[in-house]
Amino acid sequence: MSTSTAHPVARGQGAAEGAAEAHEAARRGRALRRRAGMALIVVFVALYLVPVAGVVSTSLKTNAEIAERGIWALTGKLTLANYIDVWSTANTVRYLINSFQVAIPAVAVSIAGGTLIGYALSKFRPRGGTLIQLVIVSGLFVPPQVLLVPLFTMFRTLDLLNTLWPMILIHSAVGFSICTLVMRNFFDQIPDSLRYAALIDGASEGDVFWRVMLPLARPALAALATLQFTFIWNDFLYPLVFTSARDDVATIMLGLLNVKGQFTVAYGTQASLAVIASIPTVVVFFVFQKHFVRGLLSGALKE
């Protein structure tokens, strides 16, 4: 709408004014759009801040205050009593330790395994590689409900129910799907010449992988770590089935449910545990946010 007016041949005042007006109109149009965009952003931010602020403020109010004025009242004294309460009387510390004990090994194993498979598929190009990749990646689409009963039977036979092992093993294996996808795409982008050069210099395939390729993969690994940690930390279904009716092996997400029983109508106490449960993933996201987006994209998009 604004390109034709600024014709280089046009001279004289009329033409110059016309150009200035069109320019002005375009500028106004842009300003309007920007303002509309700003409004959209402001509404959007409010939409996200309010619920988050709701939990945090609830966690800082006394239960009596909440019972009297409701959760969303803006008044009230702020107190840390709920945090002290939930930390000292519930199994909070145990829940947190359990969650870390599941998340750390499972994140490590899923990424290690996915990297090994992805690298082998990309660089060794074994026979049947396409099929292997297909099977492993389709693991992304298997609903957990399909696995529930057979795994339950399996872990019962192995006497692993009511330990943290089921979650560690499941998240490790299920995580291979996304990790393989991401790492294969990543290694595909690294030229083979790099590997051959190192091999000619006398390095073994293992050395090439360990010394040359892995250091290059650091950003992708960080992305996967973020993704996997969040996913595993927030998982609710597997602990619900594999550690039921035992508070001492509950992860923090299951703990949220158990605490609902222990502090039934104490919304403030429940909210404080929800905040505690959310801190680790929020921190991980803040630290690794750039890697996260890149990781998600590199997993699914080949450049």
Partner 1 sequence: MTKLTKFRRGYALGLLAIVALAAAACSGSSDDDGSGQVEVAHYYGSDLGQQGILDVNATFEAGEAVVSPIEHEAFKDQILVALAGGEPPDVFSYWAGARTQSVFENGHLQPITQVFDNADVWNAFPQALVDAGIHGGEPHLLPFGFHYVAFFYNPHVMEAAGVTEMPTNGPEFWAAAQQIADSGVKPIALGSMNRWPAQFWFDFLILRTAGPDYRAKLMTGEASYTDPQVVAAMEVWKDMVDSGFFVDDANAYTWTDAADQVANGEAAMTLMGTWITGYWNGIGLEPVTDYDFFNFPVLDPAVENAALGPIDGWALSADAANPEGAMLLLEHYADAGNQLTWALEQGALPPNSNADTTQLNPVMAKALVEVGNADSYSFNYDLATPPPVAEVGLDMFQAFMDDPSGYADQLSSAQDDAQAAFAG
Partner 2 sequence: MRPTTRWSLLFMGPPIALFAAIVVLPTAMALRLSFTDASLLGQTSEWIGFDNFVEAFTNEHVRKSIRITLVWTLFGALIPPALGLAVAMALQANTRFAAVMKSALFVPISISLVVVGQVWIWIYQPGDGLINQLLGMAGLDSLEEAWLANRSTALYAVFAAWAWQQTVLAMILYLAGLTSIPGELVEAARVDGAGHFQVFRRVMVPLLRPITTVVLSLIAINSLRNFDLVFAMTQGGPVRETETMPMLVWRILFRQHEQGLASAVSLILFAMTLVVIGGLTWWGRRGSYVD
Does position 108 interact with partner 2 (CB under 8 A)? The reply is no
Does position 32 interact with partner 2 (CB under 8 A)? The reply is no
Q: What is the DSSP string of 51-65?
A: HHHHHHHHHTS-HHH
- Compose the 195-234 pattern: x for residues touching partner 2 by CB under 8 A, - for all others: ----------xx--x--------------------x--xx
Q: Which of residues 55-84 bind partner 2 (CB under 8 A)?
A: 55, 58, 69-73
CA atoms within 13 Å, Cβ hemisphere of 213: 31
* Shortest CB 88 distance to partner 2, Å: 21
Q: What is the DSSP string of 34-56?
A: HHHHHHHHHHHHHHHHHHHHHHH
302: left (phi over 0), alpha (psi -120 to 50) or beta: beta
- Is 164 or 275 the residue whose CB approaches partner 1 more closely? 164
* Shortest CB 293 distance to partner 2, Å: 5
Take residue 173 and report the two structure tokens written for it. Answer: 């294996």
Q: How many helices (H) and strands (E) does the chain have?
A: 14, 0
252, burial (CB in 10 Å: exposed 0-12, middle 13-18, buried 19+): buried
Does position 151 interact with partner 2 (CB under 8 A)? The reply is yes
213 binds, among partner 1, partner 2, none (CB under 5 to 8 A by kind): none
Residues engaged in binding partner 1 (CB under 8 A): 67, 97-98, 100-102, 104-105, 108-109, 112, 152, 155-156, 159, 161-165, 168, 203-207, 210, 240-242, 244-249, 257-258, 260-266
- Is 84 or 134 the residue whose CB approaches partner 2 more closely? 134
* Shortest CB 272 distance to partner 1, Å: 15
* Shortest CB 13 distance to partner 2, Å: 26
Dist. CA 81–CA 73, nearest whole Å: 18
* Shortest CB 22 distance to partner 1, Å: 58
What is the enclosing helix (H) or strand (E) of 250? none
